[in-house]
Structure 1
Amino acid sequence: MSLNTILTNIVDQIPGALGAILVDWEGEAVEHVSHMDDFELKLLGAHHGIILENLRQVAQRLDKTDVEEIVVQARRLRVLISPVSPEYFLVLTLQRRSLIAHARSVVESYRERLRLEIC
């Protein structure tokens, strides 16, 4: 299954999903599927990668663990940042009304397929 197909399935299975982007550790987009402006989604991916990396460093210093996921909630959006491997992470952008628990479940169900596809 291609990365594009996996991301399309994720977005299609989550009501209110605006886009999903797989990003590498340098903040570069690997693949994305979007119902929003592509540039904006890529910008969100890169910026949230910085947040993930900073929180990973803090978590390592505090308790020698890694970040499992991050949810950012804004006035109109929710963003789920989910590491796929040490080098790659998924940024899922949602409408605020979207159910974050459902989004987390869908992302988790595709995590291993994403991991296998990027290796």
Structure 2
Amino acid sequence: MDQGGGAAPVFSASAEVDGDHLHVLVTGEVDMSTADIMLQTALGEPAARLTLDLRAVTFFDSAAIHAVVRMAQHFPDALTVLPSRQVYRVLDIAGLGDQAWLRPA
């Protein structure tokens, strides 16, 4: 792992509301320092449905898994998660690969 002068991984979480549907786009690394930001972005707007777009996420740890599980509890039958390949692999290893809310490409 390069610890040298490389740029820090960029994380962002943005929300867009369309009627009662909230779309949250997350990019970069979701870990213990950013998972709560992702969660608060998803729960910060009143919405009946949530699409969590993780297709641009490059790293996903246990804190991120916990945040997604909390979203699934908050939006029962109204959550769609679009994972990157890395995110899907982590969720599958965690035993969540067959969840109805997970929509792998």
Give the TM-score of the pair, scaled to structure 1: 0.29
Give the TM-score of the pair, scaled to structure 2: 0.32
User: Which gives a bigger RCO, structure 1 or 2 (Cα 8 Å, sep 6+)?
Assistant: 1
**Larger helix proportion of the pair:** 1
**Larger strand proportion of the pair:** 2
